[in-house]
Amino acid sequence: METEGSINLNQPESLAGNISGSIDSGGVDLSHVGERFEVAEMTGNVRLAASINLDLQKLASVTGHAGEVVVHASGVTAHGVTMDDAEFRLAVADGTLAVHTSDVIVRDQPGRPLIHALASATVPLAPDAKIESRSTVLVTPSDSVFTLLGMPATKLDGHLFTEIDASCRVQDAAQPAAWSVIGNVRGRDMIVAGESIDDVDIHPTVRDGQISLPQFAIRWRDNVCELSANGSVGESISLSGEIQSNTVRVDDLAEIVSQFSGSRLRASGDSSIRGHFDFSSSPLQFVAGGDATLQNARYAGKWLGAANVQWNADPSSIVLTSASNDLLGGQYQLTATARDLDWTKTIVEGHFQNIKASRLVACSGLSLPASGTLQGGLRVTSIANLESLSGHAWLQSKNLSLNRLPLDIRQAEIKVDAGAVSVHSDGVLAAGRYGADGNAELAQLVRFFESETPRAIEQIPVTFEAKLSELAVHRVIAALDMPRETRRLRATISGDCVRTPAMFDGSRFCSLNGSLENVRWDRSLVSDRVAVNMAVHPSRVELESLRGHFADGRLSGKANIDFSGTPVGRFDFSANRINLRRATAPFVSADMSGTANVQVSGRIGPVISGRADVSVDHAVMSGLVVREARFPVDWSYSQASQIARWQCRAGVVGVGGGRVHIASEGNFDRSLSMATSMRIEHVDTSKLLQGSSAGAGVIDGKVTLGAKRARDAKNFVGHFDLEMSNINAMELPVMDELSSLVRLAPSRPGNGQDGGYVYGRIAGGLVQVEELAISQSTVQVLMSGTATLDGRLDFDVTASTESDGPADQLLEMADSPIMMATAAPIAMVAKANELLKDRVVHVHVGGTSARPTLRLQPGKQLSQDAVRFFLSSSLGSNVAQAVGPQNRPSRR
């Protein structure tokens, strides 16, 4: 330092001269500074050189001083970046402080320039003067920026130009709010995370302590994001801004996020985003938040639909939240939290409650009555890969019913941990208990579904076991509002469905075993147990066995049905030695005994067809004794036309010491068409009923019955033609009432013509008896008329009362050659009526079959056929033929 000058001590103002000097620090080693302040890998040298010149005559004036400070930086490195040698110069002259820098270039580790900066400022050393400064910065970002920030590297490139002009009065320089700043930021050829960003221009300003950042847009691909902000400068800098994007594709966002985690985020859809952000310099803080609307959202190809999501972000995490107070009548909240920009470590948590089952079922498109509510929750972490995936989900129900069937889900949960998934559920179904467990290895499942060669679903590596016990059938019937008569049924259902590792070879999908126990109808035990064993395949069900008891008989069967296309298959069921008394007791009040066997076999296809063999042995039905009955029936049912057909060609019933041969065929499709014939051979009515007989005799004949599109009994038509021999007429129904009304001739051995016949037809709901004629010794009966199907009677009966009387005149007329040569002379018929009027009685039968009413009809004339019948019975066929030929048509 050098000094020269003079001063008059009596005149201080006479001070004159100069003071000048220089300083050179020799340099500071930055490695020691780095150690002191724990800055990693900091090296370099900073040297300070300064010079000063003071004019002592202008010591009180700022214009009398001059000086310069120069800072040289060389070889500076820190945190893996280096700075080219640079110079920072500060000079004072003529009352003005000038500051400027040489080019400051910061390079990354490979030597590429990251920052190129240049700054200058002028500061007049007068209080009211104005500071003017300008700085320009060119940022050329690279992947090393993310390395410096401790983030995964991703492609970053382009040019970011920044120009800042700042000014302030010198005396207010220490007050941040007093500065005025005009900025210009231009982004060119920018690439962020491998994505090209359109050119962007930003024009921030600061005035009167207020920061203004006018709206600008960032565009990439087809996505546009608009930002704007306002803030203030004081003791700290604060900034608040708005974010808005009407069109952002989730697919594009997923690709960017995937770069930070190394795992593909398989999300897609469309979104719109609105939000805000806040920044504060003291304390240093940045937060952002808003809402987003998702449309057509999918994850891993699975449809998710639409959602409204609230989002929040800070430097350490991003949180997405979706919530509603009216989701299917209930509430839900779902939160996803991703930390350190690594979506693979996202934690997903959620819960829902009071979800109405009726609305949930309606959303599924099912027409199923439902009531009650559901509640549950979930927590899932590390969702990127199966090895680290961990989670838990649970579900419960409250007052739940499906199709009016009560279902109490006490616990249903899924757990995922260490690459394994387990499922458990238990509860109550219609007073029956159920439980289910399942297990699988996620890696095995992935290999199964991603196999290049498609594998059968029977080989899926999943095990499970489901059990159902003591499900009350009557509770199910009542809940499903089934027909009232079915509510007499009582039984319990139990079963289990199992899949084990031994089934992974594809032999079957699972085994299903079940039983129906304690089966009762109107409290009468029908079966103690019926059990089934089934093998279930994806497109086929095999009933391996059906075993059980029914009314002391044994049930067995098997079936196989393929559902890969139109269901096809075969079945074979049988019931042997069924006790008819026990089988029918719950259903009919009439007494019945005997044994029965049923064998049903057939094929399943578009037309289900088969054969049923029904046999009954030693049966008594309401007193009717049936020695045996055999019905081989071929049948079919068309699912397309819904027409059922049957054919029985050789049915036979052994009854009354004889046989009834039955042949029948027809079809039913909401109406009945059929043709049935019965041939009766030597059926002895005295042996029909157990312990009694009615109208004892032997019957032979034929009965036919037919219908065409019949919907009730009135549409049936038929004929009957029966011969009777060895008849005891007075034991026939209705005939047994005649003896209480008139005196009939006592029975005695006749003329060998004991017997009779009856023929007629069925139509319009009526049984038309054209003629019933019986001759037995001294008793002759002739009857005709109708009976309705509900038992109402309308018959006319003519019966003989005496066998003796004067008949000589009629015999003389019959022997006359003239009379024998004429056809049914009127005089002969009239004479016969006169001679027979005291020997026959006319009775009308009405009422019902349960309570018939009889009324005498005196004076009624006999028809020609009636005259012939009674003359034939009393006087022989020669006299009867004299009256005239038979007018009744042939019955055969």
- Of 269, 268, 287, 285, the closest CA to residue 277 belongs to 287
3-state secondary structure (DSSP) of residue 374: strand
Q: Are 760 and 888 in contact (CB under 8 A)?
A: no
Q: Whole-angstrom Cα distance, residue 354 to residue 360? A: 11
pLDDT, position 670: 86
pLDDT per residue over 660-676, tens digit each?
999 999 999 889 999 99
| CB within 8 Å of 62: residues ≥ 6 apart | 95, 125, 126
pLDDT per residue over 102-160, tens digit each?
889 988 877 888 899 999 999 888 777 888 999 999 988 776 666 665 555 567 788 88
Which residues are bridge partners to 286 per DSSP? 279
Q: Are 50 and 71 in contact (CB under 8 A)?
A: no
Q: Whole-angstrom Cα distance, residue 65 to residue 55? A: 6
Q: Are strands 200-202 and 210-220 parallel, antiparallel or unpaired?
A: unpaired
Tokens of 611: 């054969």
pLDDT per residue over 80-89, tens digit each?
788 899 999 9
Q: Whole-angstrom Cα distance, residue 80 to residue 356? A: 60
Q: Whole-angstrom Cα distance, residue 670 to residue 642? A: 9
Rounded to 5°, the CA angle 777-781-782 comes to 140
Q: Whole-angstrom Cα distance, residue 226 to residue 220? A: 12
Q: Whole-angstrom Cα distance, residue 289 to residue 273? A: 10
Is the pLDDT assigned to residue 5 strictly greater than 80?
no
Q: Whole-angstrom Cα distance, residue 99 to residue 124? A: 11
Is the pLDDT assigned to residue 560 strictly greater than 90?
yes
Q: pLDDT band at 774, cuts 50/70/90? A: confident
Find where tokens 């979506």 sit: 343
Q: How many other CB atoms sit within 10 Å of the CB of residue 469?
A: 15
pLDDT per residue over 628-652, tens digit each?
999 999 999 998 888 999 999 999 9
Q: Are 366 and 328 in contact (CB under 8 A)?
A: no
478-482, 582-586, 729-733: least confident range? 729-733
Q: Are 290 and 276 in contact (CB under 8 A)?
A: yes
Q: Whole-angstrom Cα distance, residue 862 to residue 841? A: 10
pLDDT, position 569: 94
Q: Whole-angstrom Cα distance, residue 62 to residue 180? A: 26
Dihedrals φ, ψ of 851, to 5°? -140, 80
pLDDT, position 204: 92
Q: Whole-angstrom Cα distance, residue 586 to residue 529? A: 17
Find where tokens 């998702």 sit: 294
pLDDT per residue over 437-448, tens digit each?
999 988 888 888
Element (H, E) at 882: helix 877-883
Q: Whole-angstrom Cα distance, residue 602 to residue 612? A: 9
Q: Whole-angstrom Cα distance, residue 829 to residue 885? A: 12
Tokens of 270: 């469309």
| CB within 8 Å of 646: residues ≥ 6 apart | 633, 634, 635, 636, 664, 665, 666, 667
Q: Are strands 432-441 and 420-429 parallel, antiparallel or unpaired?
A: antiparallel
pLDDT, position 815: 46
pLDDT, position 749: 44
DSSP 860: P
> What's the chain's Rg over C-alpha atoms?
56
- Of 782, 879, 872, 890, the closest CA to residue 825 belongs to 879
pLDDT, position 61: 66
Q: Whole-angstrom Cα distance, residue 519 to residue 530? A: 9
> Among positive and negative, which fits the CA dihedral 800, 801, 803, 807?
negative
pTM above 0.75, yes or no: no
Is the pLDDT assigned to residue 65 strictly greater than 80?
no
pLDDT per residue over 311-340, tens digit each?
888 877 888 888 878 777 888 888 888 876
pLDDT, position 637: 94
Q: pLDDT band at 694, cuts 50/70/90? A: low
Tokens of 377: 């929750």
Q: Per DSSP, which regions of 688-765 are E strands?
A: 698-710, 716-725, 755-763
Amino acid letter, 79: H
Q: pLDDT band at 842, cuts 50/70/90? A: confident
pLDDT per residue over 797-813, tens digit each?
887 765 444 344 444 44
Q: Are 128 and 171 in contact (CB under 8 A)?
A: yes
3-state secondary structure (DSSP) of residue 64: helix
Q: Per DSSP, which regions of 764-839 are E strands?
A: 766-776, 779-788, 793-800
DSSP letter for each residue of 665-696: EEEESSSEEEEEEEEEEEEEGGGTBTTB-SS-
Q: Whole-angstrom Cα distance, residue 94 to residue 53? A: 12
Tokens of 616: 């009954």
- Of 123, 106, 118, 218, the closest CA to residue 168 belongs to 123
Q: Whole-angstrom Cα distance, residue 885 to residue 870? A: 14
- Of 444, 448, 399, 455, the closest CA to residue 421 belongs to 444
pLDDT, position 804: 47
pLDDT per residue over 259-307, tens digit each?
655 566 777 888 888 999 999 988 888 899 998 887 877 766 666 667 7
Q: CA torsion angle for 853, 858, 861, 862 (degrees, to 10)?
A: 60
Q: Whole-angstrom Cα distance, residue 854 to residue 795? A: 10
